[in-house]
Amino acid sequence: MDENYARYLEEKKERDARWEKERAERDAKQDARLEKISAETKKAIKDMKNIFTTQWGRLVEALCKPAVF
């Protein structure tokens, strides 16, 4: 019984180590995806900001502002 238990503990250690490695890899992939999405979002916000700071944006604001108030 001691031999079986020792083998069980060794296999459990190996499974736990494998699981930790896989979890770390998944976390790294998720972090990379989140950083990519964050960069894309920042770029989109910057592009939207530029729309309203250009001449066309000011024109649209001037045309819409009277209708809002």
Choose between 61 and 69: higher pLDDT: 61
pLDDT tens-digit profile of 12-54?
999 999 999 999 999 999 999 999 999 999 999 888 887 777 8
Residue 55: predicted pLDDT:
80
Residue 16 contacts residue 8 (beta carbons within 8 Å): no
With a cut of 70, say whether residue 62 has pLDDT above it.
Answer: yes
Residues recorded for the chain: 69
Residue 57: Cβ-neighbour burial (10 angstroms; 0-12, 13-18, 19+): middle
Give CA–CA dist 27/35, Å, rounded: 12
Is residue 1 pLDDT above 70, yes or no? no
Q: How far is Cα 20 from Cα 26, in angstroms, rounded to an integer?
A: 10
CA 23, CA 43: separation in Å to the nearest integer? 30
pLDDT value at residue 9: 94
pLDDT at residue 69, rounded to an integer: 61
